[in-house]
Chain A
């Protein structure tokens, strides 16, 4: 079955500390993986996708097919990174499956 797992509901880190938001997936085939972010009082928006292999706002995510993971990382957290982060998967049917989300709090 298709599934996206984000094991942490809440992750608190201090400003300047490294951040890793975990995402594991289950899918028979070659899915496309995304990270979406929802800042306070803003709509949910795309942060990055694995096929782009780019860094957005200092965040990167590498697709590890062996471990079926797509963890989101940033070397130095900033207070403005505080938000709700969702990992999502999409396959051939264009049906997107989301994880339950991780709330990141960056403490001053």
Chain B
């Protein structure tokens, strides 16, 4: 069954620690994305990647880092430099290429709480 898997569903960390959120897809999509969802602010783009070994900063990349070593995987690291890391994080993927943009497919999200 194709889809996007984010793990874990809930994550708790102490302030000052880095934490990595997992995102795996078996849809054979080229493009992958990380969004942060906060109440009243909608979805804000953190990083996106259109192809393996390449990624671009989104609107709120400060304090985050990503890697794209494999087509199926796009892990997000929330570093200690992120000032307000507690949030709901969504991973998504889409078919990339020329022509019409394909829609995003989303994971179920990871809720990160930093205390």
Contacts and interface: CB of A to CB of B under 8 A. Distances in A.
Contact of A94 (B44, B101, B108): B101
A62 interface: no
**Most chain B beta-carbon contacts within 10 A, residue among A51, A86, A96:** A96
A99 B92 CA distance: 16
B41 A44 contact: no
In which size bucket is the chain A interface? 20 to 34
A44 B40 contact: no
B101 A32 contact: yes
Contact of A45 (B41, B48, B50, B106): B106
Contacts of A43: 106-109
Interface of B: 31, 33, 35, 40-45, 48, 50, 56, 58, 90, 92, 94, 96, 100-101, 103-104, 106-109
Top 6 nearest A-B pairs (CB, nearest first) are: A100-B42, A98-B43, A90-B101, A46-B103, A44-B106, A101-B42
Interface of A: 6, 9, 32, 34, 36, 43-46, 49, 51, 86, 88, 90-91, 94-101
